[in-house]
Amino acid sequence: MAAAVRIQSDWAQVLRRNEAEVWLSCHSPGKPTLYGTLTCQGLGPDGVPEVTASEGFVVSEVTGKSIRISCPKENASSRFLAPQATFPRIHTQSVTCLDVSCGGGLGVSASTDGTMKIWQAANGEIRRVLEGHVFDVNCCRFFPSGLVVLSGGMDAQLKVWSVEDAKCAVTFKGHKGGILDTAIVDRGRNVVSASRDGTARLWDCGRSASLGVLAACGTPVNGVAVGPADNSLNLGTPERVPSEREVGTEAKLLLLAREDRKLQAVGLQSRQPVFLFEGSDAFNCCAFLSSIYVLAGTQDGKVYQLDVRNSGRWELLPHPAGPGPRRRADRRGLRPRLSGGRVGEADVHLLSRRAGAPISTLRPLRGAALGPGCRSDAATPATPRPRTCGTPGRRRRRRSGSRRGEGRGGSSNARTRQPLPTAAWRPGLFCAVYSLVPSGPAVRGPERTSSAL
C-alpha cells in the first residue's frame, strides 16, 4: 500500500496567520512515520499564503483553497482541499449520516445524540429537528420528492418523516437488531433496510408493512444498494407471485455489503442469489457505478470494482499517493483529498469538486456516494472509479448486549467497529461531507489528522 501524507485538520485557517505552523506526517506501512511542519511566511498580494515546509517535505502548489505537499523520500504526494463552507452549529456530537435533497436545497444529517436535523444546504440554517429514535441514528436519506426523509437507527426501527412539519408519519418494526443502512426503490413506494440481525427487508410505505425478507445472511449487513440490472443477468424466478404492493422491483439488483467479508447480489423481485464475492475484510459499503459495474469498500481500506455479469472479473482500485503519471479525473474519477474542521467539532462541510486528483488512505472505508452523471451504462468505462469514499474518525465503543442496542460490528467476538462516515452529492459544484469527531477535549499531536476521503 502506498505512503499517505496527512496534515493538521484546520490548516486552512492556521496558515493565514503570519509565522503560524501546522504539522505534517507521512506514513508508509512497515516504516517509521515521518513528521514535519508547514510555516506561513505571510500573505501574498493575492491573499494566498506563502508557505514553507520543514526538511523532508516540499510544498509544490498553494492556492486560496488548496495545497499540494510532497514527501520525496517516500515518493508520496497529496493535494488537500479546504472547505468552501463550514457549519459548526448543526450538531454537537458525532455525525453518523448525511444526505442532500435532489434539488440541492436541503440537507439532513443524523447524530449520535439520537436526533436528525434538516438544514439549508446554502448556509447551514437549521429548519427542522426530527426526534423519535432511541439511541443512535445510523442512516438517513431523502426520498426523491425531497419532502420526506427515511431513517434507521440502533433501536431497530425504520421511520419516515415529513420535512414540512417534522412529524414521523410511519414507523416500521420487524428487525431484531439495529438498522445499518437503507435504500429507496424508484420513487419510494417501497424501501429496503439492512440490519445487524443479518437480514435485508422490503417495506411497503403506503401500508406501513413488511413485504418480506429479501435475504437472510446470518451476519450483519453493513450496507445496501439497489440499482438496475444488466439485461444479460439472470435474476431468477420468484418462488411465489410478487405482491401487488411491490412497485418498481422488477429488473433490479440488490447489493448487500456483509460483515463476513462477502458482497452478495440478489434479484430484488425474485429474492434469488445472483453472485457472492469474497473480499479481504468486512464489506462496509457498496454502490452501483452502472448496470454492469459495482463498487464496494472494505474495513481494511480497499475498494473493489466488480463486473456483475461475471463476479470473477474484479479489480482492486489503486489509491496512488506518489507522483508519477497523473490522469485528469473524469466523471468517474477520484476526487481530491478533503479535510474536515478542528478536532472537537462535529461540522458539516461543503467542498468544491472542480479539481481532480488521486487520493490515498490507510484507513477503513465507511461510505461512498456517486455524483450526478456517474451512473453511465457504458459497457466498458476507461477507468471507472468511485466519486468519493469516506474514512472513519474515532472508534465507536462496543455496546454488545447492552440496553442501548448492539454496535455496528459483527458477532460478539467481532472487532470494535467505527463510526459510519458518509458523503452526499449536491448538484452543481459541491460535495457535502462531515466531520466524525465527537465533541470533547481537543486531541493534540498526530491524532489531529485530516485523512483522505
Return the pLDDT at 387: 37
Q: How confident is the model at residue 92 (pLDDT cuts 50, 70, 90)?
A: confident
The grid cell for 352 is 468544491
- Work out the average pLDDT over 331-347: 33
Query: Among residues 117, 188, 118, 203, which one has the least CA distance to residue 157?
Result: 203
Return the pLDDT at 300: 87
> What letter does residue 84 receive in the DSSP assignment?
S
Predicted confidence (pLDDT) at residue 352 exceeds the cutoff of 90: no
Please give the span between the terminal C-alpha atoms of the chain, in angstroms, as a whole number. 16
Predicted confidence (pLDDT) at residue 324 exceeds the cutoff of 60: no
Model confidence pLDDT, tens digit, residues 190-220: 999 999 999 999 999 999 899 999 999 999 9
- Work out the average pLDDT over 222-248: 93
Return the pLDDT at 393: 38
Among 127-131, 267-271, 286-290, 330-334, the range scoring the smallest mean pLDDT is: 330-334
Return the pLDDT at 370: 56
Return the pLDDT at 382: 38
- Work out the average pLDDT over 345-359: 42
- Work out the average pLDDT over 293-317: 89
The grid cell for 12 is 486552512
Q: Between 96 and 258, name the one with better pLDDT.
A: 258
The three-state (H, E, C) secondary structure of 370-430, written as one string:
CCCCCCCCCCCCCCCCCCEECCCCCCCCCCCCCCCCCCCCCCCCCCCCCCCCCEEEECCCE
Model confidence pLDDT, tens digit, residues 182-194: 999 999 999 999 9
Predicted confidence (pLDDT) at residue 74 exceeds the cutoff of 70: yes
Q: Confirm if 431 and 443 have CB atoms less than 8 A apart.
A: no
Question: CA 277 to CA 332: how far, in whole Å?
Answer: 23
Return the pLDDT at 113: 73
- Work out the average pLDDT over 108-128: 89
What percent of the chain has a predicted confidence (pLDDT) above 90? 53
pTM of the complete model: 0.69
Predicted confidence (pLDDT) at residue 152 exceeds the cutoff of 90: yes
The grid cell for 430 is 459541491
Top mean-pLDDT range of 8-12, 174-178, 359-363: 174-178
Model confidence pLDDT, tens digit, residues 400-443: 343 334 444 444 333 334 444 445 554 443 444 433 333 333 33
Return the pLDDT at 439: 34
Return the pLDDT at 425: 53
Ranges of each domain in the chain: 4-81, 86-173, 175-317
Return the pLDDT at 420: 40
Q: How confident is the model at residue 399 (pLDDT cuts 50, 70, 90)?
A: very low
Q: How confident is the model at residue 266 (pLDDT cuts 50, 70, 90)?
A: very high
CATH topology of domain 86-173: Hemopexin (2.110.10)
Q: Confirm if 260 and 282 have CB atoms less than 8 A apart.
A: yes
The CATH number of domain 175-317, selected from 3.40.50.970, 2.130.10.10, 3.40.50.2300, 1.10.490.10:
2.130.10.10
Question: CA 212 to CA 264: how far, in whole Å?
Answer: 18
Return the pLDDT at 318: 60
Return the pLDDT at 330: 28
Model confidence pLDDT, tens digit, residues 267-297: 999 999 999 999 999 999 999 999 999 999 9
Sheet holding 168-173, edge to edge: 137-142, 148-153, 157-162, 168-173
Q: Between 146 and 452, name the one with better pLDDT.
A: 146
- Work out the average pLDDT over 96-104: 91
Question: CA 421 to CA 423: how far, in whole Å?
Answer: 7
Average pLDDT across the chain, whole number: 76
Predicted confidence (pLDDT) at residue 377 exceeds the cutoff of 50: no
Query: Among residues 357, 430, 453, 448, which one has the least CA distance to residue 9?
Result: 448
What percent of the chain has a predicted confidence (pLDDT) above 70? 70
Return the pLDDT at 69: 95
Beta bridge mates, 97? 110
